């Protein structure tokens, strides 16, 4: 009986120790991004206080994001020098291909930041083909290949497709997408 009591006590100490280790400050924290998250629409980020900054949180395969984008662009055009728009990619968990689309945009950004918004708009234009139901029976690899061929290649060109695929499969694009999703949002 004494041996059983010792084993139970040891297990209890082990469980408490594991819980304490997992709950230590910083254990489950998201790494601090290397730079401010998001993509500035229309060029260079303004100096602090130079313009009003509108931050939008978009999922490239979300119909609400798609519908909001044209109106947001109109506001930017109307207020031109007084407004800056920063789009943060926010893959919603109930859109099966949201993470793929956001990761694609991060990978394309590494090739050339000027490709970001044309690709985002292409996702918006053709997003119905990447909703949950049309891709339900497809493998992740098939969807990745279709995104590369049908959405990414027309924006970045065939010559950059190998760089895109390398960037898409690089852990840095995965990490950038995860940090972007998990980083605290100022809502």
Model pLDDT, residue 154: 98
Within the chain, which residues score under 70 in pLDDT?
A: 1-35, 180-187
Total domain count for the chain?
2
The predicted structure's pLDDT at residue 187 = 40
Residues 118 and 38 in one domain: yes
Q: The domain spanning residue 60 has which CATH number?
A: 3.40.30.10
Residue numbers of the domain that contains 110:
34-182
In a domain, 187, yes or no: no
Do 85 and 99 sit in the same domain of this protein? yes
pTM: 0.78
Tens digits of residue pLDDT in 20-66: 555 555 555 555 656 678 899 987 777 777 888 899 999 999 999 99
The phi, psi pair for 47, rounded to 5°, reads -70, 155
Is the same domain home to 163 and 83? yes
Burial 51-88 (b: 16+ CB within 10 A, else e): beeeebbbbbbbeebbeebeebeeebeeeeeebbbbbb
Predicted local distance difference test score (pLDDT) of residue 37: 80
């Amino acid at each position: 009986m004494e041996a059983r009591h010792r084993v139970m006590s040891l297990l209890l100490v082990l469980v408490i120790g594991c819980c304490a280790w997992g709950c230590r400050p910083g254990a489950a924290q998201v790494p601090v991004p290397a730079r401010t998250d998001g993509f500035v629409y229309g060029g260079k980020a303004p100096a602090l206080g130079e313009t009003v900054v509108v931050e939008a949180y978009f999922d490239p395969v979300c119909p609400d994001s798609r519908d909001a984008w044209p109106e947001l662009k109109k506001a930017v055009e109307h207020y031109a020098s007084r407004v800056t728009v920063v789009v943060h990619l926010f893959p919603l968990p109930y859109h099966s291909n949201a993470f793929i689309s956001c990761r694609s945009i991060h990978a394309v950004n590494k090739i050339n930041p000027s490709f970001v918004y044309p690709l985002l708009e292409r996702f918006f234009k053709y997003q119905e083909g990447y909703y949950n139901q049309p891709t339900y029976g497809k493998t992740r690899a098939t969807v990745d290949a279709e995104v590369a061929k049908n959405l990414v290649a027309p924006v970045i060109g065939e010559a950059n497709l190998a760089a895109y695929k390398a960037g898409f499969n690089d852990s840095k694009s995965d990490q950038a997408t995860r940090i972007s999703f998990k980083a605290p949002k100022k809502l």
